[in-house]
Structure 1
Amino acid sequence: MAAGLAAGATIPQFGALSAARWSALLHGRAELTPAFALETISNEAAFLLGPSLAVLTATQVHPAAGTVLAGALVVGAGLAFAALRRTAPAPAPADRTVARGPGPLLTRNFATLLAVNLALGVFFGSMQVSVSAFADVHHAAAAAGLLYGLMSAASLLAGLAYGRHRRHTPPAAQLPLILTFLTCASLLPLLANSPWQLGLALLLPGAGVAPCIIVSSTLIESVMDRSVLTQAFTWTNSASVAGIAVSAAAVGRLVDGPGGPQAGFIVPFLALTATAALTWSSRQALTTGNTASGQTPSTGSGRPRG
């Protein structure tokens, strides 16, 4: 546990730093949303391949090899990323009108987007534990990774589809719709009675994850003041991680109770229901905030540039 805390405390916020660079390179351009889609797809691919690669090296090479490989990838890729000075965004001066207010991070828009990422973290953490518990109860513990992988694969494909097609609906209007879809889809695992049924039930929730993350990133980029944009991405990433940690611990205790795995599946549904309601009530503020900042929402078209 001490080693895990040390590792978590020292991993740089690559996601926030990368999103800030995409924003600096493509701000106001239609390619920005496909760029965020590329980020999300890369994460999904890592979640799909990373555990398998770690297990393979740990079992075939040495028990510590998986951890060493993960650390080497973080350090090596991190140094390579830091060396890319040409694409590093220049510090943005604070907007004086924003500075006179309560603070660019103390706004309803940012609180809404923070809540969205917190709910997504609760979804991830709850699903991981609940799927594992479900597989164990049905004497198919070895299938837990495959079941969760199906959801990640559905998310990856949805991210590809979302990034390729042009949309005319503003992101502020898309977000509550996507969250409503994800909320309704998260009810399906409650109906599953066997591992193969659960695998099918996880496809639709998975399909809603990547679009939700992409739209959230697009809105953060468009409504937040440029002087705190990297901070905003960092806070939302941290909210997601906090949701994973807290929900995984809480749901772990919950599924050990009389409700079993089904009780665990209720947690992401409740979190998403509350967040969907919040985004429906805040969609006008998100749209107004975007217009007031003088920025045009990105509605990605075509393929993301490498």
Structure 2
Amino acid sequence: MLGLPGMRTLMILMLFARLPASAAGMVLTLHVAVGMKRGYGAAGLVGGVATVGIALGAPVMGRVVDRYGLRPMLVLTTVGEAAFWLTARHMSYPVLLACAFAGGFLVLPAMSIGRQAIAALVPVDLRRTAYSLDSVSVELTYMVGPAMAVLLATQVSTGVATIGVGGTVVAAGVALFVVNPRVRAAHEQAHGSERIPRREWLTARMVGVYAVGAGAVFVLAGTDVTMVAALRAADQLDWTGAVVAVICVASAAGGLVHGAVQRSLPQVTLMALLGLLVIPVGLFAGQWWMLALALVPSSAMCAPTVAATGEEVSRLAPPSMRGEATGLQSSAFTLGAATGSPLVGFVVDHSSAAWGFAVAGIGGVLVAGAAWALGAGRTARTPISAGSPS
């Protein structure tokens, strides 16, 4: 797979291009809560507004790619997002709150671009490997980005951290503009910009695939919140970084195995296992190392589940609508994160960390059941238009 023309460049480029997105949430939280001294509630409100913008903007930017190509969208999002971050340090809180929606709406959609490029560059029989490696790359980015954000914000200033995010956005946007990765394969160009009615491709099966993506991120977001609460209750918060490193390595290992095998588990099964394996984790939350080991099995299901949704979206979406389809997938991920953290956090506040893990896992199992009912668990035939030429 890495021997395919353009794949090594794409993987390296996407590893770098995702850094701003991985650091943005942490920088925004620290800037409002610490730099502006407004507290974490105010920071959460700004983050929530930005999240709404991201969820609404992702499919719109995908539609721009479908109709006008990648470069016009890159200009729009790079200029828009960079303008937000480079001026954020000078905004008052009300202005920042109002501009957060626009900043989210115009986020450079590096995740979506990577998934579209993989579908264009990689034949169907190698896409599981490609999307699995992409998920591993995401894990590496999220091990580096937030840590860099915290280091810059705490050791220098939150204002400088916002400028750092803005500068990284510009660098990523320019690099993507220069490389201009293909978002459609050569044999797919014949379809041109033909608009296919949404009802023809946004089927119940596709909705089920999006549900799996949202459910996976719901479980992960809920697990993150509960993990911090459990470590705090055990007075071992200083070990958070070690636990995060263990679960990221476990997720990456799971992704490598998923990409290496000839036949992997269906996405609904992976989703169900992700949820089921999280439910009992609270029983082992007494010591940080026990918690880390207890999270390894569920974490190993993380990257495979996310990779499976990317593979399935590329299989079901027509090439001329792939940008909008992957944008909706990004919106599903955002929705999962936006519901998982507050809902599970509310449960933890009113009960215990053990119940937080249980609710996060049960939510994932319920989503897996709903996705199966919608048909996402069945083996889908690959549409000719979305795969290799026949």
TM normalised by structure 2 equals 0.66
Q: Which residue is equivalent to 2:381? A: 290
Contact residue 36 and residue 218 of structure 1 kept, 8 A? yes
Structure 1 residues 258-302: Cα deviation after superposition (integer angstroms, max 9, x where no partner): x12222212221221112223444558742x425x247989xxxx
Q: What percentage of aligned pairs have identical amino acids?
A: 23
- 1:82 aligned partner, one-letter code: F
Segment drifting more, 61-70 vs 174-183? 61-70
Q: Given the alignment, which residue of 217, 229, 240 partners 2:333?
A: 240
DSSP 3-state at the match of 1:160: helix
Q: Structure 1's 180 and 64: CA in aligned 2 closer, same or farther, altered over 3 A?
A: same
Q: Which residue is equivalent to 2:182? A: 87
How many Å separate the matches in 2 of 1:286 and 1:74?
A: 39
Q: Structure 1's 5 and 192: CA in aligned 2 closer, same or farther, altered over 3 A?
A: farther
- The answer to whether 1:133 aligns with 2:229 is yes
How many Å separate the matches in 1 of 2:201 and 2:372?
A: 22
Q: Given the alignment, which residue of 126, 129, 154 partners 2:250?
A: 154
DSSP 3-state at the match of 1:153: helix
Q: Which has the higher helix share?
A: 2
Q: Which residue is equivalent to 2:145? A: 50
The unaligned stretches of length 5 or more in structure 1 are: 299-306
Shift of 1:175: 1.6
DSSP 3-state at the match of 2:381: helix
Q: Which residue is equivalent to 1:228? A: 321
How many Å separate the matches in 1 of 2:281 and 2:190?
A: 45
Residues 103-252 of structure 1: pairs in structure 2 closer than 5 A: 103-105=200-202, 107-163=203-259, 165-168=260-263, 174-194=266-286, 195-252=288-345
Shift of 1:207: 0.2
How many Å separate the matches in 1 of 2:183 and 2:168?
A: 21
Q: Given the alignment, which residue of 34, 39, 59 partners 2:154?
A: 59
Q: Structure 1's 62 and 248: CA in aligned 2 closer, same or farther, altered over 3 A?
A: same
- The answer to whether 1:14 aligns with 2:96 is no
Segment drifting more, 42-51 vs 154-163? 154-163
Contact residue 216 and residue 274 of structure 2 kept, 8 A? no
- The answer to whether 1:73 aligns with 2:168 is yes
How many Å separate the matches in 1 of 2:126 and 2:119?
A: 10
Structure 1 residues 142-184: Cα deviation after superposition (integer angstroms, max 9, x where no partner): 2223323321221112112322x23145xxx622332232122
Segment drifting more, 175-184 vs 1-10? 1-10
CA RMSD of aligned residues (A): 2.7
Q: Which residue is equivalent to 1:301? A: none
Contact residue 182 and residue 209 of structure 1 kept, 8 A? yes
Q: Which residue is equivalent to 2:32? A: none
Shift of 1:215: 1.2
TM normalised by structure 1 equals 0.83
